[in-house]
Chains A and B, each alone.
Chain A
């Protein structure tokens, strides 16, 4: 028996959003008289953090503390239209719609504050802590709560805003495939180390090192959640999962989590992640969307690592012990390709 260590590499980019139908999303923002803001969406939070990232985007744009913002989603009676949470569109599309809505609401809030302070709204800034003051004169100030209260009770203004993000329709050319696929791209490169048992074909993932470029990290902890969980799913796709283990033969499909294989908590390996942030020109504060792309480089990196370890090319996923073992047999034994790094 021998265990062979192998190292594989892959790099990818990932299109943010969909390129069908203009990919619209809308947002509505309004404040109550106490200066607390509600963001109304029909977008979905399926764990990726939609409610949280749009809340931060709204707070930043409004210039108020994040505690003063709450995101309500998703109710079709109150939340304006959104295509949905898929295609890595949430942060980018909905984030942009929230910015537009929050900007409009902010401008009303500043107009209200200006009227109270008897200054030009253009001279006003927010401190992000709940105050609005004249640029360069922090003492000439009013709280956001006072401004919003005055707007509603004294001035008859609605501190509210509407936002939409829409990409102009783009034809896909039938003959050449010319199109405007999406608006921006995230990037990743990943190196995975695996051990391959040349008698059983079993693989252990030993370590991952990666670099992800995903525009501005709008919330580093949410980014971390996506990347750590996404790499696990990438591992899982590479070497565990399928609903049809003998595809295209349609038999022995798993019916439960015992036979639908996924790595358990004892299969995970250390993962060292570096994050690069090249802001997307059209992204909300330069953000892109890390949610989907983070799994992608792991699949090819794993098959490349298996090749490096034992000289077997696995061209059909998932990499089962059986496929590895058949490959080793076909080659007349393991053929380690030499260490990298």
Chain B
């Protein structure tokens, strides 16, 4: 293991003469960690703590005919059994806090379950063991339903409806389409122009975040009719606001404490534990803990969802990629959670760090009868980067080019136009390729060794395509969307032009914002108008796309 800082790169863009930044200062939490004193959520002790365990579906897809809790209620140590009717607002979607997507998931389902492990009741008991014993005594009368597991099966006509809010098993984007589109140039024209077409199919399986600390929360009555919550959340206010919404409780009655978490990797955003723990406390008046055991963390806790990508490249014999088409399927599992947004992030990332004049993507957020997917390290990007880079290797092999040379040849450079219609800046892919090759003693041609992210970009490469082929495939009806972004006063980008590269900084860089929409030299088609700086709209969070089911 070795690590070196190659300060000679981009040296004129940095002032390395800082007091504290750049120094190998000890972590603030290191002493707490090595003495075992860092306070994770479960390191807060409460007298009279109650334990919550959930009754979970043994079926992938089933209707609930009846839940019989009578025997469980009589079990020793059982204080309360909670079902869906006890949840004040039993329907939510995580990103509703950003007004993105429709509420589609109950905290405790009382009509049907759409994945194995979905909770339908919760036992609150004096000990964890008592809770587990009572869970075993809750009788649920199930009517099993056909289930669908493959993303491409799920979007076929007649497939079982996983999520009634989205009857085609597809999330709806912008109230208009059953997928997110990317259209840049004319990919079909690009394919006709190419010397060869290279295709591939890539599949990622679901991955568990697997933090060593499982997800959980402890709620307790606080003074003055408030609730204190110790939580392992990765997003304190997501969890607080989700709890506030599900329990119809003003947010200032909730006091959330966290911040010291035993690993997250994206698996602690979903905010399932906090509302349940607070609800338990509301119903019993006592401190309640709700924590996943490892088995639940592995199979019920939301993973990084599976992704399937189809890639098609039009390539010239010299290795230049002139067109790239993606069709992607994100397996969201039974509910939306964050997959809808992973696709937005992923689409903004296409076609990877390369300048390709014609790019096309259709990406679908698909509901299947499996554990809902959520965020994980590399969210929305890891899967498609696997596809892109495995595909680049295939392209290099087929055109007979060195794989690193192929990357450098196609790499994006400062000033290039990207497929999401913003100019590239601050790029460094080429230099990374060169340095990695050098370290591994992988020889590169002189041209590749001398290439630079700072040179040969922009100009023609910085122009929007003369023509972009668009279509209305996948148009949906029955949904509407408002565009808050356009109407919003928002925080207006500063009137000053975007800052140039920060050279020789001597003072800290103040927060600045990217000026959207650089003016193309020759706009091929009229771009949408820039955001108007009028109308105010008051939402607690700002949003890019409100969605309403008609």
Chains A and B share a contact (CB less than 8 Å):
yes
Residues of B with C-beta under 8 A to A300: 385-386, 388-390, 392-393
Residues of A with C-beta under 8 A to B353: 11-13, 185, 187
Given A172-B545, A221-B25, A272-B439, output 5 extra A-B contacts at Cβ < 8 Å: A46-B234, A209-B439, A217-B5, A281-B512, A313-B390
How far apart sit A337 and B375, CA to CA, in the bound complex (Å)?
A: 37
- Among A84-92, A108-116, A138-146, A150-158, which stretch is in contact with chain B? A84-92
Name the residue in A188, A227, A281 with the highest tally of chain B Cβ atoms < 10 Å from its Cβ.
A281
Would you call B348 and A277 a contact (CB within 8 A)? Answer: no
Would you call B19 and A128 a contact (CB within 8 A)? Answer: yes
Does A273 sit within 8 A of B, measured CB to CB? yes
Would you call A316 and B205 a contact (CB within 8 A)? Answer: yes
Would you call A57 and B435 a contact (CB within 8 A)? Answer: no
- Among A29-37, A66-74, A196-204, A326-334, which stretch is in contact with chain B? A66-74
20 contacts across the A-B interface (CB closer than 8 A): A10-B389, A12-B353, A12-B385, A18-B345, A20-B98, A21-B544, A47-B262, A47-B263, A99-B509, A181-B420, A190-B436, A211-B434, A219-B25, A244-B306, A276-B435, A281-B512, A284-B509, A295-B378, A341-B441, A341-B442
The A-contacting residues of B in range 1-43, CB under 8 angstroms, are 1-7, 9-10, 13-14, 18-29
Nearest 5 A-B pairs (CB), nearest first?
A84-B235, A181-B348, A300-B389, A74-B259, A341-B442
How far apart sit A316 and B527, CA to CA, in the bound complex (Å)?
A: 39
Q: When the two chains form the complex, which single residue of A65, A76, A285 contacts B505, counting CB atoms closer than 8 Å?
A: A285
With A21-B98, A275-B3 in contact, is A248–B348 under 8 Å at CB?
A: no
Residues of A with C-beta under 8 A to B187: none
Determine the interface band of chain B, counting residues with CB < 8 A from chain A: 35 or more
With A11-B389, A52-B29 in contact, is A281–B377 under 8 Å at CB?
A: no
How far apart sit A158 and B7, CA to CA, in the bound complex (Å)?
A: 40
Contact pattern, B 221-250, Cβ under 8 Å of A = 1, otherwise 0: 000000000000111111010000000000
For residue A87, give the distance in angstroms from its CB to the closest CB of chain B.
6
For residue A235, give the distance in angstroms from its CB to the closest CB of chain B.
13
Does A100 sit within 8 A of B, measured CB to CB? yes
How far apart sit A278 and B60, CA to CA, in the bound complex (Å)?
A: 49
The A-contacting residues of B in range 483-532, CB under 8 angstroms, are 483-486, 488, 490-493, 498-502, 505, 508-514, 516-517, 527-528, 531
Closest to B369 in A: A250
How far apart sit A299 and B2, CA to CA, in the bound complex (Å)?
A: 21
Does B427 sit within 8 A of A, measured CB to CB? yes
For residue B214, give the distance in angstroms from its CB to the closest CB of chain A.
12
Residues of B with C-beta under 8 A to A176: 181-184, 421, 468, 470
The A-contacting residues of B in range 43-80, CB under 8 angstroms, are 60
Would you call A46 and B443 a contact (CB within 8 A)? Answer: no
Does B457 sit within 8 A of A, measured CB to CB? no
Would you call B544 and A281 a contact (CB within 8 A)? Answer: no
In this complex, how many residues of chain A approach chain B with their Cβ under 8 Å: the count is 158
Does B419 sit within 8 A of A, measured CB to CB? yes
Residues of A with C-beta under 8 A to B269: 84, 86
Name the residue in B98, B433, B436, B439 with the highest tally of chain A Cβ atoms < 10 Å from its Cβ.
B436
Contact pattern, A 41-75, Cβ under 8 Å of B = 1, otherwise 0: 11111110111100111011101011000110111
Residues of B with C-beta under 8 A to A209: 436, 439-440
Residues of A with C-beta under 8 A to B295: 255-256
Residues of A with C-beta under 8 A to B189: none
Would you call A211 and B390 a contact (CB within 8 A)? Answer: no
How far apart sit A77 and B306, CA to CA, in the bound complex (Å)?
A: 38
Does B437 sit within 8 A of A, measured CB to CB? yes
Q: When the two chains form the complex, which single residue of B10, B174, B234, B544 contacts A85, counting CB atoms closer than 8 Å?
A: B234
Does A22 sit within 8 A of B, measured CB to CB? yes
Does B291 sit within 8 A of A, measured CB to CB? no
Does A218 sit within 8 A of B, measured CB to CB? yes
With A180-B422, A187-B432 in contact, is A220–B22 under 8 Å at CB?
A: yes
For residue B496, give the distance in angstroms from its CB to the closest CB of chain A.
13
For residue B178, give the distance in angstroms from its CB to the closest CB of chain A.
11
